[in-house]
Structure 1
Amino acid sequence: MSEVLVLVDHADGEVKKNTFELLTLARGLGEPSAVVVGAPGVAAKAREALAGHGAEKVYAAESDTADSRLITPSVDALALLVERAAPAAVLVGATITGKEVAGRLAVRTGSGVLVEVDGVDADGTATQAVFGGAYVVKSKVTTGVPVLSVRPGAVEAEAVAGAGVEESVEVPERDARLVTRITGSEPIVGGDRPELTDASVVVAGGRGVGSAESFSVVEQLADAFGAAVGASRAAVDSGYYPGQFQVGQTGKSVSPQLYIALGISGAIQHRAGMQTSKTIVAVNKDAEAPIFEIADFGVVGDLFSVAPQLTEEVTRRKS
């Protein structure tokens, strides 16, 4: 059985949820092999979690400079393994970084690339939402090794024991003048809430929230659910919430188990980033709002009346 390479998304060896989803998807295509790029020792930290979700191999592409070089170390490691292992496919998360890795790797290896994939059949046929989510299509790479960026949350992760055999990968050092160096980073400020693309529940607010101060109604409902907070582009452009929480075509793509949209009209740009959510609940005063076209449950009403009642009820049931 051919290997399927999975680029591990991690923070100092702590594996993120979307990697477990990729490993689950990889099992339907071949033998999952996790590729950990980072400083020495991170692969050992991640190995147990990766093996617990089906990774038969854990490739350790480690170096002292891996964390200070943007994108390039991941592309170098994957390109080397594509040549060495001739995998059936390469899977990366459809994050901002992951999509750039996918594009560069496809060019480097002369392969086809598919982005924002929601699922893949055993024969490699992928399902994608295109043109802002207006259509769902089936696509298949016919050149080289398929490189697929998979939308976080599109696949439900399943824990299955794998061997998790660790194997070192020597990635040659690049001339420092030819790569982008990371000189500093700041964590996303979100309190104790889960990361937006990893969350199983997302509560998002739109222009209908009215102001930055009023966004507390969104946060309170999110905290009652233990959810992440999102925002529409209109809300971000209006200064109601930071851009790092934007959901949509020019923001982050999410596919949680539950997506609650408060005061969001449902423009195609926003729908493109969340319409694959398993259950969508919308609250809007406008009964003709496009968001109701894709909502599983809709409430036509004032979000400032509906959301606090829901927060109270969720809190009561959890206590």
Structure 2
Amino acid sequence: MTALVIAEHDNASIKGATLNAVTAAKAIGGDVHVLVAGHNAGAAAQAAAQIAGVSKVLHADSDAYAHGLAENVAALVESLAGNYSHILFPATASGKNIAPRVAAKLDVAQISDITKVDSPDTFERPIYAGNAIATVQSSDGVKVITVRTTGFDAAAATGGSAAVETVQGPAASGKSTFVGAEIAKNDRPELTAAKVVVSGGRALGSAEKFQEVMTPLADKLGAAIGASRAAVDAGYAPNDLQVGQTGKIVAPQLYIAAGISGAIQHLAGMKDSKVIVAINKDPEAPIFSVADYGLEADLFTAVPELVKAL
């Protein structure tokens, strides 16, 4: 029984989500291999070889994998699938793009967003916006799995000494081409990897107030900034800051929610945070039901006072 983890990387280094997927693969039992598919990605392959618990790294280097196009990477994974009992992807935008294609090509059911491994064929995953946990058992010969990264600790990035093996995949499918990317540059920590997240909600009232109130707090704490869907829909914050069921799933050491009522969809994206602090003037706000510390106060008064105290 051997599991294959599809690495997420930038051709130079391995992204943190891969480390969580490796932990899930180790929980299944058996050997853990990692696939690094990219272009001039030798450094990323060497970094993958250092991950604790990985016994082999498969390195596929080609122009076809330069930008992680799902059609090309899925064809590569399909060509390797016969050697593996489990194929795991981080449940990120990239993983969710490729995994369904692999499952369809292999004619198996995808097991999505697992948070726990009960046995090699049985897994737990949240449903109903995280209000219930489903236990899923699969009899498929190859199990295609996406891993909710907040459900597993990251494997150690160093300490391993896996062998790196070069593999060849099918030629580019030609079904899609990379046109360009608009990368938002941000000096703050990446939202899903940050140890501290401060999020604002609709109560902030405007994009100007969102920046005026939340930015100084984030600066003081060295935090990433998040937002509720209501705040994003109202135009107070950009789409990539949305935390929740239809946004990003986060589990930082500290999560501060200011002016967020706590709709079920938002709670699904942050309730696994280690410490949750809620600031809201409505004592009945659902956010207080998951908060470790709750402050019933006007955020326009409380947040500046908190910044001053820090």
Partner deviation per Cα, 1:182-229 (whole Å, 9 max, x = no partner): 21001123x211111222222111101221111222222222222211
Partner of 2:204: 209
The one-letter amino acid of 2:160's match is G
> Is residue 113 of structure 1 aligned with residue 113 of structure 2?
no
CA distance in structure 1 between the partners assigned to 2:49 and 2:299 by the alignment: 41
Residue 282 and residue 38 in structure 1: after superposition, are their counterparts in 2 closer, same or farther (change >3 A)?
same
When the two chains are superposed, the root-mean-square deviation of aligned CA atoms in Å is: 1.9
Matched residues in 2 for 1:74 and 1:223: separation?
39
Measured against aligned partners, the alpha-carbon deviations of 1:252-309 in whole angstroms (never above 9, x if no partner) come to: 2222222211111111121222222232221111111111122222111112222233
Matched, 1:139 2:136: yes
2:271 paired residue number:
275
**Distance apart, 1:50 and its partner CA:** 4.4
Q: Among 144, 149, 153, which residue is 1:152 paired with?
A: 149
Counterparts of 1:183-202 in structure 2, within 5 Å, are: 183-189=179-185, 191-202=186-197
Assess if the C-alpha contact under 8 Å between 1:68 and 1:183 holds in 2: no
Shift of 1:38: 0.8
Structure-1 separation of matches of 2:153 and 2:67? 32
- Taking a change above 3 Å as real, the CA distance of residues 3 and 184 of structure 1, as seen in their structure-2 partners, is same
Q: Deviations over 1:159-188 (max 9, x none)?
A: 163232111121111341xx2212100112
Aligned match of 1:317: none
Partner SS, residue 28 of structure 1: helix
The two structures have a TM-score, normalised by structure 2, of 0.92
> Corresponding residue for 1:79?
78
The whole-number CA distance in structure 2 between the counterparts of 1:48 and 1:28 is 21
- Which residue, 165, 174, 177 being the options, matches 1:167? 165
Alpha-carbon offset, residue 142 of structure 1: 2.2
Shift in Å at residue 74 of structure 1? 2.1
Tell me which stretches of 4 or more aligned residues in structure 1 moved more than 4 Å: none
Corresponding residue number in structure 1 for 2:302? 306
Partner of 1:248: 244
Are positions 1:265 and 2:266 aligned together? no
Query: 2: CA distance between counterparts of 1:280 and 1:137?
Result: 25
Residues of 2 paired with 1:238 and 1:121: CA distance? 41
Distance 1:74 1:309 in 2: 50
Specify the code of the residue in structure 2 equivalent to 1:234: A
Determine which of 191, 210, 233 is the counterpart of 1:237. 233
CA contact 1:20–1:158 (8 Å) conserved in 2: yes
Select 1:219's aligned residue among 215, 218, 233. 215
Q: CA separation in 2, counterparts of 1:260 and 1:50? A: 36
Distance 1:46 1:219 in 2: 37
Contact 1:133 1:275 in 2 (8 A): no
Give the match's secondary structure for 1:273.
helix
Counterpart check, 1:59 vs 2:54:
no
CA distance in 1, matches of 2:209, 2:2: 50
TM-score normalised to structure 1 length: 0.89
In structure 2, C-alpha distance between the alignment counterparts of 1:65 and 1:208, rounded to whole Å: 46
Structure 2 counterpart of 1:17, which letter? G
CA distance in 1, matches of 2:68, 2:48: 25
Q: 1:94 touches 1:150 (CA, 8 Å); kept in 2?
A: yes
Aligned to 2:15: 16
User: Does 2:34 match 1:37?
Assistant: no
Report the Cα distance in structure 1 between the residues aligned to 2:306 and 2:135, rounded to whole angstroms.
Answer: 38
Q: CA 1:214 to 1:114, structure 2 compared with 1: closer, same or farther past 3 Å?
A: same
The count of residues paired between Structure 1 and Structure 2 equals: 307
Matched-pair contact (CA < 8 Å) for 1:284–1:302 = yes
* DSSP-derived class of the 1:27 partner: helix
Is this contact kept in 1: 2:48–2:57, CA < 8 A? no
Question: Aligned letter for 2:71?
Answer: T
* Alignment gaps of 5+ in structure 1: 315-319
Q: Classify the secondary structure of the residue corresponding to 2:47.
A: helix
Kept in 2: contact 1:118–1:128 (CA 8 A): yes
